[in-house]
């Protein structure tokens, strides 16, 4: 009887350990160490992302689809003052870093590093949540214009009177414009500094899916984990 009892306790302990291991694996929190990606697709309305909240939901959903939904995700987007709400800077929304892509490569160690020449963003490192390379300048289909609405330092890109830099705070699917960056740091912008900027190269020709395509954009955005 004593021997049988020892075996029972041993079996129970093993079962508890197994359940704990399974629980940790299924929690999703540590299933994928990725903390930075470019969205693999636009929700379907061009520059209308459902505002900042809708853009964040898109980041969260895509992250969850690859086992990284245990983190809190934010879109790297700036927005203008509106409805009694203050302006928003993309750099203030994304946490403190460091950030890793889907392959585990650290692309930046901090907010300051991200907005410096030391940042490791580029076509080979700025991957989608699936770990795929986004096509860029010189490819059959160019999708290198990534929506940001920002200046090189990650703050809101101010608009001239009657102009737009954020597709109406990410609610317009026609007209308007948005500042985009070149994820591959290549293009035809005559300003060599802006041309190679990952977050602030130029404005789009509009906010519809077709208008975004005209300047090399598929309405994609950068997503960062804040924790």
Rounded CA gap, 202 and 81, in Å? 21
Residues in the chain: 227
Task: Give the chain's radius of gyration (CA, Å).
Answer: 21
- % the chain with pLDDT above 70: 87
Express each pLDDT in 154-194 by its tens digit: 999 999 988 999 999 999 999 999 999 999 999 999 999 99
Q: First-to-last CA distance in the chain?
A: 51
Express each pLDDT in 117-156 by its tens digit: 999 999 999 999 999 999 999 999 999 999 999 999 999 9
pTM: 0.86
Please check whether residue 27 is in contact with residue 209, taking contact to mean a CB–CB distance below 8 angstroms.
Answer: no
Instruction: Give one DSSP letter per residue of 13-72, joined into a string.
Output: HHHHHHHHHHHHHHTSSSS----EEE-SS--SSTT-SSHHHHHHHHHHHHHHTTT-TTS-
Would you state the structure tokens that stand for residue 211, as one six-digit string?
Answer: 């208008």
Site of tokens 């403190």 = 96
The answer, yes or no, to whether residue 15 has pLDDT greater than 70, is no
């Amino acid at each position: 009887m004593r021997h049988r009892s020892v075996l029972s306790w041993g079996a129970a302990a093993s079962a508890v350990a197994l359940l704990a291991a399974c629980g940790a694996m299924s929690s999703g929190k540590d299933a994928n160490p990725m903390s930075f990606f470019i969205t693999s697709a636009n929700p379907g309305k061009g520059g209308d992302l459902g505002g900042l909240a809708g853009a964040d939901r898109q980041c969260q959903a895509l992250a969850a689809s690859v086992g990284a939904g245990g983190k809190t995700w934010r879109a790297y987007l700036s927005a203008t003052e509106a409805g009694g709400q203050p302006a928003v800077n993309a750099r203030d929304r994304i946490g403190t870093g460091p950030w890793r892509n889907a392959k585990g490569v650290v692309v930046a160690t901090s907010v300051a590093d991200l907005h410096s020449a030391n940042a490791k963003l580029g076509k080979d490192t700025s991957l989608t949540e699936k770990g795929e390379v986004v096509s860029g300048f010189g490819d059959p289909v160019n999708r290198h214009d990534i929506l940001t609405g920002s200046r090189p330092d990650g703050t809101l890109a101010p608009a001239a009177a009657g102009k737009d830099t954020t597709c109406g705070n990410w609610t317009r699917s026609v007209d308007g414009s948005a500042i985009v960056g070149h994820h591959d740091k290549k293009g035809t912008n005559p300003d060599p500094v802006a041309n190679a900027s990952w977050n602030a190269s130029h404005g789009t020709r509009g906010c519809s899916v077709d208008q975004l395509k005209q300047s090399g954009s598929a309405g994609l955005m950068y997503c960062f984990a804040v924790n």
